[in-house]
Amino acid sequence: MAAALRVLGDGVVLVSIDVDQNESADLLARYADRNNHEWAFAVAPVDMQRALAAQFGRNVLNPPTGNVILIDPSGSATLLRAGVKPADELVQAVQGAR
């Protein structure tokens, strides 16, 4: 993710969304700091999780599947393929959505 952000530069915002209601914003902040992640982290409220599942299916809430939802400048959301994605694939997806 960090490599893709370096290539894409300004104008792209990355937010990692945690779906575990037992985890806190403070815990996520410590995790991000400990791992040198320079993007935002947030815990998704239950209503947001329901909306994501309604739009993309329940599997979107399964962290090991490596889900990435790309939101383009018009606000249209697209679920990228499941699995960990290399930086070049993320860069290509974002550039295609601009």
Q: For the segment 60-98, what is each residue's pLDDT rounded down to a tens digit?
A: 999 889 999 999 999 999 999 999 999 999 999 999 998
What pLDDT is attached to residue 10? Answer: 86
Full residue range of the structural domain in which residue 66 is found: 2-97
Q: Measured between alpha carbons, how far is 18 from 16 in angstroms, rounded to an integer? A: 7
Count the residues in the chain. 98
Residues 8-50: pLDDT tens digits?
Answer: 988 899 999 999 999 999 999 999 999 999 899 999 999 999 9
pLDDT at 24: 93
What pLDDT does 35 receive? 95
User: 66 and 83 in contact (C-beta within 8 Å)?
Assistant: yes
- Number of compact structural domains in the chain: 1
pLDDT for residue 69: 95
77-79 and 69-71 as β-strands: parallel, antiparallel, unpaired? antiparallel
Specify the pLDDT at position 1.
Answer: 84
Q: What is the model's pLDDT at position 9? A: 87
- 3-state SS, the chain, equals CHHHHHHHCCCCCCEEEECCCCCCHHHHHHHHHHCCCCCEEEECCHHHHHHHHHHHCHHHHCHHHCCCEEECCCCCEEECCCCCCCHHHHHHHHHHHC
